[in-house]
Amino acid sequence: MKNPNPEQQQMVQGQGWQTAAICGLLVLTGMLAWVVTLKPPLEVDTSGLSNLPEVISGWQGVAIPLEDEVTEMLDADFNLQRLYRDPLGGYVWLYVGYYSTENGGRPTHTPWICYPSSGWTIVHSEPHVVDADQGLVVNEFLVEREGEMRLVHFWFRSHRGTGIRGAFGQLVDRMLGRLFDGRADGGLVRVSTPLASDADISEARAKLRAFAVVVEDLLASHWPVEIERAS
């Protein structure tokens, strides 16, 4: 019987690692399911988000109520939508959607879906590191609809951290949150501003970055609290 060649040995070893990784994931999933079943329901206090300042670093905010059908579609525990104006007349839209542990901890209607379904074309999409110290990394969209352009920065966050960019990061964050903190809530944060032309993109990006850093600091101290519901 011939000995396997090095390539075959590497293939077998690789398959062994894959099998071990899958088994480990299954065990972790089982542990998580067991922990979840033992945890009592959580009660949510979203008053922190309700009290997010209407004046942020000189920017004056005004609430923009969501339409009933939009609220129903988003299915969030709490929605915050405001228009913030700076002293020079520029403005930024802010949206925060919060999803409790009991509500799944993440939005299902995300900007990847929301903009195209509303008639916007995503002209480009790329990640940007806004603040390395905060761990704030965002998804940047340039969107266009009937000649109107907007620059959009959005990211996902939880009680554990921020700068989560996609579904896999949210999944890992929720699993760790459940295992170590007993909660797996999360939310979507989006800031956007209009563009007169492509030439304005650098200025608009700098505006969104500066605003996002301040907003993220506030969100860290105003994030909802989840506690065990009294029996």
What are the tens digits of pLDDT across the range 197-214? 766 899 999 999 999 999
Q: Which percentage of the chain shows pLDDT scores above 70?
A: 81
Q: Is the pTM of this model over 0.95?
A: no
pLDDT in tens, 88-128: 888 999 999 999 999 989 998 899 999 999 999 999 999 99
209 vs 46, 84, 132, 176, CA distance in Å? 25, 14, 12, 28
With bands split at pLDDT 50, 70 and 90, how would you rate the model's confidence at 34? Answer: very low
Calpha distance 176→69 (Å, rounded): 33
Average pLDDT value over all residues in the chain: 85
Query: Which is nearest to 95 in space by CA: 35, 154, 182?
Result: 154
Query: What would the DSSP string read from start to end of 37-77?
Result: HHSPPEEEE-HHHHT--SEETTEEEEE-PPPHHHHHHH--S
Q: Tokens 């939508």 label which residue? A: 81
